[in-house]
């Protein structure tokens, strides 16, 4: 099982210089990839260009580019550029985000996200293959039929280094998970619990069969946080703010994908209580209500031997690449954890 550093959002809790040092340390340690994220702060593409220019071997990946933020052609241009800057090391991670960001920040409709994603990936692949771009979909029509009439089918001018840039899709709901298994090279789940892989398996197998392939053709690449400390309670406490935010406050009450996911894991009562507390402004109480065993399932927490056992659980679930975010109070501890994990995985 390969390791990847999920560096997260630029400047959120760590400085840009610290994020760069983490990426360079991951590169030195033999981590397979380094991922950068975007929400409604930094954009991922700029950060990835910076990381690509300052690393040597690790693949550089978007985790994720938001589909509502860019046209498919712009994403193809950015992917091709980053592939050239990195010398052929780029992975294109995509996701639809959620209605609050899509409609509230980008001003894009969230309706029919599966159809939009399918069309988007199709256009990106055509553009990266340097086909003359024409498309007649429900959401995207190229050239635009109701414009000036001067639109012209065009072809990407530059060539990516890779013959085929891998495309990964972020997904946790059954339908978009099936779509990832059908059309993507990799699947990026969040709050993935290896013990509950069977919650995802039917959707993955359905999507893979629809795409005429098997799960062996899909790189299962979950993202998790880690806190490697001998005191497991201390380690768990680093996860509580993140989990309370995602389960309690990430999205509207009726449209929180993460709350629905942990409900599928069997934590419905806890999820509802966490959400009620978080949305009423009682974030500390929401953090306190997160069950210890849920933290243990969706994060790497505790002493080294325990983390070693959890890595085995991910391997047994078919995970090919595990993306990790070190959670610590100091930069020194984050670097130390990266080294610890590399040693444990080896």
**Average pLDDT, consecutive stretches of 10 residues, N- to C-terminus, the chain (346 residues):** 93 88 98 96 96 98 97 98 98 93 93 96 98 97 94 97 98 96 98 96 97 96 98 97 92 82 96 95 97 98 98 97 96 97 96
- Residue carrying the six token digits 């495309």: 167
Residue in 125, 261, 281, 272 with CA at minimum distance from that of residue 193: 261
- Residue carrying the six token digits 């001018």: 157
Does domain 2-231+300-345 correspond to CATH entry 3.20.20.30? yes
Whole-angstrom CA distances from 58 to 26, 86, 189, 263 are: 8, 9, 21, 35
Strands 33-36 and 2-8: parallel
Distance of CA 153 to the CA centre of its chain: 32
pTM for this entry: 0.95
pLDDT in tens, 291-326: 999 999 999 999 999 999 999 999 999 999 999 999
What does the DSSP assignment read for 133-150?
--EE-SS-EES-TTS-S-
Q: Which two tokens stand for residue 4?
A: 């990847």
Whether residue 306 has a cis bond before it, omega within 30° of 0: no
The domain segmentation of the chain, as residue ranges, is 2-231+300-345, 232-299
Query: What pLDDT does residue 8 have?
Result: 82
Residue in 296, 283, 295 with CA at minimum distance from that of residue 248: 283
Sign of CA dihedral 202, 33, 1, 333: negative
């Amino acid at each position: 099982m390969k390791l990847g550093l999920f560096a997260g959002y630029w400047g959120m809790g760590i400085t840009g210089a610290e994020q760069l040092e983490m990426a360079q340390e991951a590169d030195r340690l033999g981590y397979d990839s380094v991922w950068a994220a975007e929400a409604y702060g930094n954009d991922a593409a700029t950060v990835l260009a910076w990381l690509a220019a300052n690393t040597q071997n690790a693949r550089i990946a978007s985790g994720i580019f938001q589909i509502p933020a860019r046209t498919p052609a712009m994403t193809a241009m950015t992917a091709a550029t980053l592939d050239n800057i990195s010398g052929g090391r780029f992975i294109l991670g995509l996701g639809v985000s959620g209605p609050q960001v899509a409609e509230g920040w980008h001003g894009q409709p969230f309706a029919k996200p599966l159809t939009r994603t399918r069309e988007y990936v199709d256009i990106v692949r055509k553009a990266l293959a340097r086909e003359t771009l024409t498309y007649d979909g429900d959401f995207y029509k190229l050239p635009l039929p109701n414009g000036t009439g001067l639109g012209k089918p065009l072809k990407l001018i530059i060539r990516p280094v890779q013959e085929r840039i891998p495309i990964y899709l972020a997904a946790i709901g059954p339908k978009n998970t099936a779509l990832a298994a059908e059309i993507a090279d990799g699947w990026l789940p969040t709050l993935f619990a290896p013990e509950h892989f069977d919650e995802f398996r039917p959707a993955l197998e359905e999507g893979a069969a629809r795409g005429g392939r098997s799960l062996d053709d899909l790189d299962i690449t979950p993202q998790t946080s880690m806190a490697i400390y001998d005191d497991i309670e201390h380690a768990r406490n680093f996860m509580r703010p993140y989990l309370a935010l995602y389960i309690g406050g990430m999205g509207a009450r009726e449209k929180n994908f993460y709350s629905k996911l942990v409900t599928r894991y069997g934590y419905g009562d806890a999820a509802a209580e966490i959400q009620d507390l978080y949305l009423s402004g009682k974030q500390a109480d929401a953090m306190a209500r997160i069950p210890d065993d849920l933290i243990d399932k969706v994060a790497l927490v505790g002493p080294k031997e325990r983390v070693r056992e959890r890595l085995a659980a991910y391997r047994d679930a078919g995970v090919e690449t595990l993306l990790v975010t070190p959670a610590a109070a100091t930069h020194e501890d984050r670097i130390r954890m990266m080294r610890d994990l590399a040693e444990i995985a080896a």
